Structure 1
């Protein structure tokens, strides 16, 4: 095992990428500032918000007076449902892409977040994710469900919401995870993330929350300071295959995890998150897959100081100072 105070590299088993860890840079005392959450006491309804119930969206469509989760087609989709053009071969290769995009509002309350709604409301969001995965997956190769939370992560609106992009291709990162999980199954005869889950539980240092159906951990190979990986314990490859009990357990685990994030710097914690499951175009060929979610929060030292992936990270290799073990300890402390 690497020395805890000396530089070393860790291999991301899902992508094959290495991460340089430089813990000696964190020896200075921690004096991070805090900034109270600004949106917690905000208005429940904003007349200028295009996601609030009853308000008009760009293009003239008006939202219903919805309660709970609300799904609608994205007014500015990144993918359109028909391919145009033809492939281009050779050095400057191109291919057409098609798909659909949806928006899912988590709550009618403009000031809410996935962390602050209750388990019953979170359960409705999870139900929405599962139905979107099932419905769009019946027509498209891959369904990507994600959330960009907070202006720091480029969220277009503070209203609590996520997005779904479904396409006729398997995106690069998902294809890479698919390949490495399949390679592990071929070589070892076991499911990669099931082995990772067991190894993380045995090690224990990076586990931050768990229940009978889920494990949340700062993964051994984490790139972002307080990155977490949420893995289902059950033999499940896609969201729609989760049992009712697993969906209930996920609502509880996300509530604990996201409340811990908010408590870390006493702020509305920004992040990008996304679900990775077996591409639907693969059909039943998904025994090597295990459903999981990635949370990538940018904050490093306070509510306003973030980690930037620049310089060495852009030109050479991902690097971090705060070890995953130290990050997990800090998260466990605020989640007690």
Structure 2
């Protein structure tokens, strides 16, 4: 048996946090929650969907009859343009937060997903991400682009869409990644995620998909069972820096990774994903950054059994059962 067959801890180089790996626990019986995954059979247009073309949203606004990517201000934003209240110092510290939010409809087809779209349609989504990062980054300190896919991940609508929240602050996790990348750059004189690419390619066991511009891996420190990290090979820090070849290559790589997810358990695979680029408020001081995306799917053993971040995970340290190497092999086996 190899080291990976026994309990051990792995360091997440992007956050500085440890992950407990317990592969032997995959043998334990399961009599806990089972939850039916969201099916993929949906109509092309749903008259009750507030994201479909031509339909009315809450408040009376009607969507246009859009044919591609459609972006609009979130009707229920988590951040408002003007700050309210005052900062409070001391033990119970507070500070105002402001910003704006967008909804990004990927396609007019209610039944579509990024996994089932064409490379051309996915490229339109990539362009939309890049444009929003640039336009909102010109006004705000950080732009967070993300997607919650599936009811299991809290998506309020099955229509293919993502969100963008831009604010006047750098969120905690991004700030943590910034600090770890900055420290590595100062100590090693190299870009952390560039070194990760080299290490993952030298090992090979966790690579899922690859092309000249991108690498998709189940990272050595993955927390979620089938988590993947998509890293730009080019020296880019934010989405808007991607050239046309890299944008084409990203659409193609997502066309390998996401259908493989669906094939794992023959289901419309749920996940939360998001882009991490250098905070726009950092200006030119971001040589340590490399653009990357995180995919966090919750499913563990089947379409009905998910990973629960509870108990030890909430109170002590992140823990996983399925080893990252085994997860990567299973995803690779599903790539056509």
Match of 2:141 in 1: 141
Matched pairs, number: 333
Q: Deviations for 1:195-250, whole angstroms, at most 9, x for unmatched residues? A: 00110011000000000000000000000000000000000000000010000000
Match of 2:104 in 1: 104
Match of 2:77 in 1: 77
Match of 2:206 in 1: 206
Match of 1:316 in 2: 316
1:4 CA displacement: 2.0
Q: Following TM superposition, where does structure 1 have runs of at least 4 consecutive aligned residues deviating by more than 3 angstroms? A: 27-30, 33-37
User: RMSD in angstroms over aligned alpha carbons?
Assistant: 1.7
Q: CA separation in 1, counterparts of 2:93 and 2:178? A: 23
Q: Could you say if the C-alpha distance between residues 12 and 64 of structure 1 is closer, same or farther in structure 2, counting changes exceeding 3 Å?
A: same
Q: CA separation in 1, counterparts of 2:332 and 2:282? A: 38
Q: TM-score, normalization: structure 1?
A: 0.96
Q: Deviations for 1:128-170, whole angstroms, at most 9, x for unmatched residues? A: 0000000000000000000000000000000000000000000
1:26 CA displacement: 2.5
Asked whether the 8 Å contact 1:34–1:267 carries over to 2, the reply is no
Asked whether the 8 Å contact 1:271–1:295 carries over to 2, the reply is yes
Q: CA separation in 2, counterparts of 1:38 and 1:277? A: 32
Match of 2:189 in 1: 189
Asked whether the 8 Å contact 1:271–1:298 carries over to 2, the reply is yes
Provide the secondary structure at the position in 2 that maps to 1:179: helix
Provide the secondary structure at the position in 1 that maps to 2:205: coil
Provide the secondary structure at the position in 2 that maps to 1:328: helix
Q: CA separation in 1, counterparts of 2:144 and 2:37? A: 32
1:29 CA displacement: 10
Match of 2:39 in 1: 38
1:23 CA displacement: 1.2
1:28 CA displacement: 6.7
1:71 CA displacement: 0.3
Asked whether the 8 Å contact 2:37–2:304 carries over to 1, the reply is no
Q: Could you say if the C-alpha distance between residues 2 and 84 of structure 1 is closer, same or farther in structure 2, counting changes exceeding 3 Å?
A: farther
Q: Could you say if the C-alpha distance between residues 197 and 29 of structure 1 is closer, same or farther in structure 2, counting changes exceeding 3 Å?
A: farther
Match of 1:114 in 2: 114
Q: TM-score, normalization: structure 2?
A: 0.96
Q: Could you say if the C-alpha distance between residues 317 and 29 of structure 1 is closer, same or farther in structure 2, counting changes exceeding 3 Å?
A: closer
1:176 CA displacement: 0.3
Structure 1: where are the runs of 5+ without partners? none
Provide the secondary structure at the position in 2 that maps to 1:4: helix
- In the TM superposition, 1:239-318 aligns within 5 A as 239-318=239-318
- In the TM superposition, 1:171-186 aligns within 5 A as 171-186=171-186
Structure 2: where are the runs of 5+ without partners? none
Provide the secondary structure at the position in 1 that maps to 2:116: coil
Q: CA separation in 1, counterparts of 2:14 and 2:167? A: 22
Q: Could you say if the C-alpha distance between residues 78 and 28 of structure 1 is closer, same or farther in structure 2, counting changes exceeding 3 Å?
A: closer
- In the TM superposition, 1:41-56 aligns within 5 A as 41-56=41-56
1:76 CA displacement: 0.3
